[in-house]
Structure formats: structure tokens, C-alpha cells
Amino acid sequence: MASHIVGYPRMGPKRELKFALESFWDKKSSAEDLQKVASDLRSSIWKQMSDAGIKYIPSNTFSYYDQVLDATAMLGAVPPRYGWDGGEIGFDTYFSMARGNASVPAMEMTKWFDTNYHFIVPELGPDVNFCYASHKAVDEYKEAKALGVDTVPVLIGPVTYLLLSKPAKGVEKTFNLLSLLPKILPIYKEVISELKAAGASWIQFDEPTLILDLDSHKLEAFTAAYADLESTLSGLNVVIETYFADITPEAYKTLTGLKGVTGFGFDLVRGTQTLDLIKSDFPKGKYLFAGVVDGRNIWANDLASSLSTLAGLESIVGKDKLVVSTSCSLLHTAVDLVNETKLDDEIKSWLAFAAQKVVEVNALAKALAGQKDEAFFSANAAAQASRKSSPRVTNEAVQKAAAELKGSDHRRATNVSARLDAQQKKLNLPVLPTTTIGSFPQTLELRRVRREFKANKISEDDYVKAIKEEIKKVVDLQEELDIDVLVHGEPERNDMVEYFGEQLSGFAFTANGWVQSYGSRCVKPPIIYGDVCRPKPMTVFWSSTAQSMTSRPMKGMLTGPVTILNWSFVRNDQPRFETCYQIALAIKDEVEDLEKAGINVIQIDEAALREGLPLRKSEHAFYLKWAVHSFRITNCGVQDTTQIHTHMCYSNFNDIIHSIIDMDADVITIENSRSDEKLLSVFREGVKYGAGIGPGVYDIHSPRIPSTEEIADRINKMLAVLETNILWVNPDCGLKTRKYAEVKPALQNMVAAAKLLRTQLASAK
């Protein structure tokens, strides 16, 4: 019985790639140094899987930034603004596309389906001259082979690549991206031919868009693409991977009818209904890559249950055609449980990170082949039973409070227009008020202070003193820049979710459970293992301290319940909405304590609300109902004069704009500039928005500093579709990943642009 891994984390168990990337970007190390770190990581990953007994080991899932950007490089689809003049694409062009540079902005970045991973969106049009410009897939296959490991090269499938792209600037928005299939397939054929020549026997195409609601035209593109590739693929075994949800009956029929394809991979964790399709009609003689080990969460697999599922599938497809696999790439989970020192033994026994999931996959494959490791299965069964019966999982008071939420929609008593009037009388803000999203640069010194405090190397008094000094620096800078509504900069927080999870019951934390979000950016999601409540105030001290340093409004900064949920590893023993309601009640307590402490502006970030939207339209309404309700629960009890902000970023929000309005926040700040002002189109189409809104005026994920004129131009575009009295001026997102040398001039230009527009508006009256 064979085993397979869809993909594997790239950052390394101790984030080795992150630090190598940042050193290279800061010009502290060479390209050769970066390549050496990457090569060492790839080698260790391949060896680990080989030693664990995995038969189908992936290659080309390693990336310096993003696998979709790698496909863009492979196809030579570099936007003209980067000045690429042909040849093999190097780091300068590659990272300019990802991050921008001093003269041009980065390409758009958005969420990879419903995960917290981000990809770089290809910009395409009829005039793109595709060419084979990155040999990475072939090079990595050869690299593994030289180490004695025969891998399965992985490529983003051609149809998924086009469906995830967008029309380039100047190209009609109605341009049919699938019309480019005949232009990109010749490059795919070149890559396939080189892989065959190098000795590859299998190739994996990732086509996750097959799980979306696709019309017949889009499904026909898959049929056409693989029919065109069939002769080139001859002599190779081909597996097409789908993941993250059930596949529709129409897409299943299309997929299993593709020419030249040997096997099909399905997510059987999130796509349980796909099992019925497999049982009713699976093509004879084809391989089934059964994704029974969860690639998106950190809970140990229920091996007995998975083995039962696999035994049923074996009777359908045959013993020699069933391959045990992960549900998706392990990119979305932490690397290795062995590195964890903070978790107690009980909780640790409930978990499996990427390295452990590799072992689970192989254990299931061996068990199906009659080589069951009885001790391993017995320990797994004991851990499953322990988790179900542990008293630390259940809090009856929390469950009762959450149950009592039913029957109310938890709306504030007064409409938003009246609230904004009351807030303006209290806050006395100018037209086009300026603010930032929350965080300020996290300096090396600041990180050192937090690290030493956690390690008990400095006292609590010294820690509080250092954090207060940092807050004072941030407050003084904002006053110097003449920003209207201030933030304290969040110097006490390494991560917006981890910080709150550490202070809520029902959460556990890892020492090295890092997961890549984008580029070198890694997050360490908390683990929600039990019922959630707030034992004591979490942010009141720091917000009150910051407010005491200024007469200007100081925002209290909180992370919303939906974002905490979506950016955590969530318990899988109860519905997600029940956990979300519990978190909402905890945040509600914090909001009301902030208000009592004199904080008049409170931001409750819901950056991940759109991210959690199910991939199938039939499931949208239910999710949005409980997600939006959860947000309203957090602030339903505050006074009209308390201004509630929320923030969202790096997703496509246009399709949920009515749900955003239904959140009933007083002000929403939302990413806009990196997505090339896509958000504004929804207002051009007639959607009326009556609350305050701040579409971002510049991209904070690029080191580039926008000019005053550029920002003023963006504000003018906003004023063309939004009322002057509701528009705010702010960056796209928080500033923690930037340096002060970038932040200060960018904010100076932002404030100058707002003042320029205020003057122009006043003179036009």
C-alpha cells in the first residue's frame, strides 16, 4: 500500500528560511547564502519523508515566496513595470514582483482559498508573451534525484493558474483569462518534457479550483487543457490534486474523465461528501489518492476511523490503486511536535504536526498492507479517548452563556447615522480624519525585551517600563505627524491572535508552531482545545496608559472573534460557530471594560472574516450569519458615543459587502491599494455605505514610500464614490513589518495628502 504527501512546510522547524530571506533582503547575506539554506531545508525534508517510508514524495513545493508566483516565473508572465528583459528569472525580478521596490509597487496579494496563506495574483492579458523562464521544477527534481530520492514534481495546474489570475491594468475586466490556455500550454509541455527526460515517472498537478462552483465553460477548460497535454504526458503517471472542500458532481465527472490522467487526489477531511461520489462511480484502473490525514489542523488523526474509511475505499478501487495521502499540503500546519517544550504531555498527546502527519500517513498505509503497528494504533486510541473525556475541555458556565445568545441579533439600539453624530460631538475630528491600523514597527530591541521577559531574564517592572517608553515614542511620533486618531503601536504583542489567546482560557500555545502566512511572514496560531472565556482584562492597562499620554483619541485595539477563530488551530469536536460565540462573549467583556476606562474609540479587527467564507456558495449564508452576529455581540452594549472600528485586509470583499454593512460598525478600515482599488468598484456600482470607511491609501507590505501626490490621487478616487463626511485616510494594514525609516515618510505624505484635500474641499464650498 502506497503513501503520498501533497506538500510540506518550507520555512523549516526553526524558521530558517524566514531569517535567510530577511538577511538577503537587508543585503546582509548573498544569493548563494540564501540558496544554501534553501537547499539544506529541501534535502532534510526529502530525507525525512524517505526515511518515514513515503512512496510519493513531492518536489517543487518549496518556494522562496509563493508557489503561484513560482508558476508566474515559470511562464515568464512578468508585468512590464519590473523591467525584465528575458532570460532565467532571478531574485531581483522575482522579489520585486512579490514585494515591490523603490520605484514600482508589488503585485496584488490575496488569500489562498479559505486559508491564512497568501499568494501573489498573476496579472495577465492578451499581450503577455509567455516563455519558459524558470527551470525550478526540473532543477529541484534533479536535486532530489542526486540525493537518491525519486520525487513527484508538483505544478500549479494550468486551469487553476488562469482562474486565480486577474486582468492586468489596462485590460478589460471582462477579458476571458481562460482564452490564454493555448498560450501557456506550450510552456507546460516544455516543463513536462524536461521532467520526463530527467527521469520523472510521476507528476502532480494541483487543480484546487475544481472544488469551486464552476460553470460548464470553466469545466470544459479542464477537459481541453488535459486533452492538449495528453501526448506530452504519455509515459508519465499523472495525479491531479483537489483540496479544501467537497467536489461537485459535475466537477467530479469532468475530473475523472480527463485524458492522460492516472490518479485523482481528494480532500476527505473537509470533503466528506466526495466519498459518496467515489463510492457511486470511480473509474476502473485509476489511482485514488485518499486525503484522510488533515493537512490544515494539528489534531492527531483518529487512525481507527481513517483505517475504516480506507478499507471501504480499498474494496472499490482495489488494493494496488489506493494511496494514503494528506488532505492537502502540510504547508498549513506547524512543522514538528518534537520542537515543543511549552505544551504539557496531555495536550501534546492530542496533536500531530507535519512531521507526525507524515508518520500517520505511512502507518495507515502499512496497516492496510497488513503490517499494522499495534502499539502506535493503541497509543493513538488512548489519546483520542483522553481528549474526549478530559475535564479541561469543558466549562459549563461558558456553554450556558453561549446557549443564551439565541433569540437576539445583538444590534446596537441606535442607527449608525445617529451614532456618528454623537461621536463627532465628542471626538471633534476634522474632515478626512487620519489614523493607522494598529501596529507600529517591531524593532529588534522591542523583540529582545519581550523575549527576555518571557524567559524571566528581566523583571516585570523593567518590562513594563520598556513597553511604556515604546508607547510614548509611538504616541509622540503620531502627534508630531499630526495624525488625528492614535494607536499605541502594540509593542506588547508579537502577534494579534497569539496575544489574546494567551490570556483566554481554553487556549494552548506552542514554542515553535510557526506557519507561513506569506513570504517570510510566519504566524504561530494558538490551539483552541476547550471552552473559551476571559479570566481578567487583557488590554485595558496598556490602552489606558497610552490614552494618558495624549489628549487625542486613542484607539483600544482588539482582535475580533471571527479572526481569532480563523487564525487559530480550532477544536474539531464541536461546530466552529459555537467556539466563535464563546470568543465573542470574551471580547465583549473586554470592550465594555475599555469603555469604562475612558477609551472612546475601540477597534475590533476582523481581518479574517472574508477568509473564513466557505468555498461553496450554498454555505455562504449560514457562515456570514453567525460570523457577523459574533462581531455584533462584542460591541452591542456600548454607548452611542463610543466609536467602534473594525479592519479587514487582503481578501476580495466585494462579494460580501452587504454582510460587512450588516456588521454595523461605526468605521471600517479596509485594504484597497495593493488590490489596485478593487474595493471602490462596488461603490461605483451603486452600493450605499453610510458608516465611516477608510479604504487603504498605500500598501504597507512593500518597502516603497508613496508620494503625497499619489496618495492624494487615491483619496480623490475615493471621494468620487464615497461621501466626504464618512471617508477616513489610513494605510492598508498595520505597520509592524516595516522599518521606521519607511513608516515615518509614508505617514508624513499620507497626512499631507489629507490636509491638501481638506484645503481643496474647503475652498470648493
Q: From the annotation, which residues make up the binding site for Zn(2+)?
A: 647, 649, 658, 662, 671, 733
SS3 352: coil
C-alpha cell at 15: 524558521
Q: Which residues are annotated as part of the binding site for 5-methyltetrahydropteroyltri-L-glutamate?
A: 18, 116, 521-522, 567
Q: Are 90 and 133 in contact (CB under 8 A)?
A: no
Asked if 225 and 259 touch (Cβ cutoff 8 Å), the reply is no
Determine whether 35 is exposed, middle or buried from the number of CB atoms within 10 Å of its CB (0-12, 13-18, 19+): middle
604 backbone dihedrals φ, ψ, rounded to 5°: -115, 95
Length of the chain: 765
- Check: CB of residue 198 under 8 Å from CB of residue 138: yes
Q: Which amino acid is at 593?
A: D
Out of 4, 118, 488, 701, the active site residue is 701
Query: Does the annotation mark 118 as catalytic?
Result: no
Binding-site entries? 18, 116, 437-439, 490, 521-522, 567, 605, 647, 649, 658, 662, 671, 733
Q: Counting Cβ atoms within 10 Å, is residue 70 exposed (0-12), middle (13-18) or buried (19+)?
A: buried
480 exposure class (CB count in 10 Å sphere: 0-12, 13-18, 19+): exposed
Helix axes 91-99, 67-74, angle to 10 degrees: 130
Rounded (5°) CA angle 522-165-259? 105
DSSP secondary structure, 652-667, as one string: --GGGHHHHHHT--SE
| DSSP character at residue 297 | -
Cell 523549516, residue? 12
Q: Hey, how many other C-beta atoms are within 10 angstroms of the C-beta on 257?
A: 12
Q: Which three cell numbers stand for residue 269?
A: 477531511
User: Quick one: which H or E segment has residue 267?
Assistant: strand 263-267
SS3 content of the chain, % helix, strand, coil (to 5): 45, 15, 40
**For the sheet containing 692-695, what is the strand order?**
555-559, 601-605, 643-648, 667-670, 692-695
The catalytic site residues sit at: 701
